[in-house]
A and B are shown apart, each in its own frame.
Chain A
Amino acid sequence: MNADFLVRRIAKPLVFLLCLLPAAWLVAAIIALQTGGIAGWQPTSLGANPVEKIQDTLGIWGLRLLLVTLAVTPLRVIGGWPRLLAFRRMLGLFAFFYIVLHFLWYLFVDQAFDWPQLLADVAKRPFITAGFTAFVLLVPLAATSTQAAMRRLGRRWQELHRLIYPAAILGCVHFWWQVKADIREPVVYAAIAAILLGWRLWRHRRLRAAAAGQASSVAGTRRPGAERNTSQNQQPTGARPPVHAFAEQPPAEQ
């Protein structure tokens, strides 16, 4: 049993099922609510305000998985676990899955087709504007998550997928602006996002400086864009850290 087999046949299905758990919990709780309770599930497991509970559960799991997706690269590089990359697309798509449901729930259940109200909300309420913008930013990422799209877009795929950074920031802002007074929980999420993005910035600067030093020692003078060229040429995944902080190979999946 080799490592590839473990990842593909054991770990990935396991992570897939784990990612589905919150959705499965919600489905069971909704069925319990509608039927007056099934096998161990109380009809009250969603509390007195099920619409809000479902809305919040979908949103928080969207944000959690977005941050987990952002943690893949730091863990891969710091921990030296190149195989983690194999999970990134699935995690990102699950984040999008919960965020889409969160958005649709707001659209069709919370606002119940009240389109004028909805448009006014998106324009007038900063926390909704932030959340909606984050959702919109993630749409092209989900749409270009296939192998074919990666091949077609080439290097631009990476540039495009950096949209996850503003999306994660806006997701944290959306959460923060939504609470009335108790910011303890959104602060935790914002701090995690800050660490994950801060690490990328730090690494980007450090590698830039290293590349600049290397370029000047090789060529005598520093050529503008030297580190950029290096990053383009140096693509193998995982084994060597890419020189450009953001330049990562699209997941090399089977």
Chain B
Amino acid sequence: MSDDSRTRSSEITPESVYRSRREFLAGLAGAGALAVAPPASTQELMNVTLVERLQFKPNARYSTSEKANSFAEVSGYNNFYEFGTGKEDPAANAHRLRPRPWSVLVDGECGRPGRVALEDLTGPHALEERIYRLRCVEAWSMVIPWIGFPLGDLVKRFEPTSRAKYLEFTTLQDPKQMPGQRYGVLDWPYVEGLRMDEAMHPLAILAVGLYGKPLPNQNGAPLRLVVPWKYGFKSIKSIVRIRFTERMPATSWALSAPREYGFFANVNPDVDHPRWSQKSERRIGSSSFLTRQPTMKFNGYAAEVAGLYRGMDLARNF
């Protein structure tokens, strides 16, 4: 799997991070990154990030009409233990992450393995906006306008073999960039996985942005999974590796507490977490400050995805 032509992004010197960002953005949608003056400092670079826009088409079919959470809520209240276990830790610490240059190792049971620069990985895919519900296993929820593309389209490009039954994803491991990894709260690096039919489902996407902008670091820049019918912890962030496997991957939370978190982790009001109820949830956002709302099976996506689990005991395969 010598792939020299594809490693160029990872070799870009730090000085040209900004240029690579512009190339990445231009590459993402063919054209369309807003031209901005080069910044003088890191702080300016971060401000610039906020005005860059991605080019995308709204996907109404797979978007909810529910009111989306504000950008401040989506980017200020996160579970991303790599940056600390408090909800506000990721926003406070994620500036250490350098999402460019970035590359992803694709390997395992597929015809075209290799290390792929992020722009080459995402470049061929047209971006869509998908406004999804996100239900955390901790019984809170948000509505988020993601920018991304179907995971299944990417999977096909790498030509999985007949032995590829699962997809395993790995988050970056680098305690310098991710200070939360200095503590063994979880067995780093973070690993998640999907069954192949789940990965091919049109609702499963890889996201590169939200609210029309590149992903904030605390939301899993530069590339994350979004699987809206599963609890949030399945939607792994800052992905550096995608592996096709024959066996079910050992995933981080299932390893950490097998009694509490399973591989499937489908949102299900009928199957409680051993320590708390999953029947209802609190929608983050001031208008619903004091009320809980009932949790929907498969987070409201049952019509689309229930068929994937026909004949399975969801109480056992939680």
CA distance A50 to B77 in the complex (A): 11
Evaluate contact between A125 and B275: CB separation under 8 angstroms. Answer: yes
Q: Say yes or no for A44: interface residue by CB 8 A criterion.
A: yes
CA distance A51 to B256 in the complex (A): 28
- Interface residue count for B (Cβ, 8 Å)? 30
Chain B proximity mask over A121-134: 1 for CB below 8 Å, otherwise 0:
10011110000000
Evaluate contact between B289 and A50: CB separation under 8 angstroms. Answer: yes
**How far does the Cβ of B16 sit from chain A's closest Cβ, in whole Å?**
36
Q: Say yes or no for B22: interface residue by CB 8 A criterion.
A: no
A47 in contact with B88 given A33-B286, A126-B275, A177-B275 (CB within 8 Å): yes
Q: Say yes or no for B138: interface residue by CB 8 A criterion.
A: yes
Evaluate contact between B291 and A112: CB separation under 8 angstroms. Answer: yes
Overall SS of chain B's interface = loop
Q: Say yes or no for B277: interface residue by CB 8 A criterion.
A: yes
A181 in contact with B185 given A121-B277, A127-B275 (CB within 8 Å): yes
Q: Say yes or no for B303: interface residue by CB 8 A criterion.
A: no
Interface residues of B in 13-35 (CB under 8 A from A): none
Interface residues of A in 90-139 (CB under 8 A from B): 109, 111-112, 114, 117, 120-121, 124-127
Task: Give the chain B neighbours of A47 by CB distance below 8 A.
Answer: 76-77, 87-88
CA distance A184 to B182 in the complex (A): 13
Q: Say yes or no for A253: interface residue by CB 8 A criterion.
A: no
**How far does the Cβ of A95 sit from chain B's closest Cβ, in whole Å?**
24
For B73, give its contact among A33, A48, A124 (CB under 8 Å): A48
CA distance A49 to B288 in the complex (A): 10
Q: Say yes or no for B62: interface residue by CB 8 A criterion.
A: no
Task: Give the chain B neighbours of A111 by CB distance below 8 A.
Answer: 292
Task: Give the chain A neighbours of B88 by CB distance below 8 A.
Answer: 47
Task: Give the chain A neighbours of B257 by CB distance below 8 A.
Answer: 180-181
Evaluate contact between B277 and A120: CB separation under 8 angstroms. Answer: yes
A180 in contact with B292 given A47-B77, A48-B76, A49-B284 (CB within 8 Å): no
Instruction: Return 20 A-B CB contacts under 8 Å, by A number.
Output: A44-B76, A47-B76, A47-B88, A48-B72, A48-B77, A49-B284, A50-B289, A51-B289, A52-B282, A111-B292, A112-B292, A114-B280, A120-B277, A121-B277, A125-B276, A126-B275, A177-B275, A180-B138, A181-B185, A182-B185
Partner-B contacts on A (CB < 8 A): 33, 43-44, 47-52, 109, 111-112, 114, 117, 120-121, 124-127, 177-182, 184
List 17 other contacts, CB 8 Å, given A47-B88, A179-B85: A44-B72, A44-B76, A47-B76, A48-B72, A48-B285, A49-B282, A51-B289, A112-B292, A117-B277, A125-B276, A126-B275, A178-B275, A180-B138, A181-B81, A181-B185, A182-B185, A184-B185
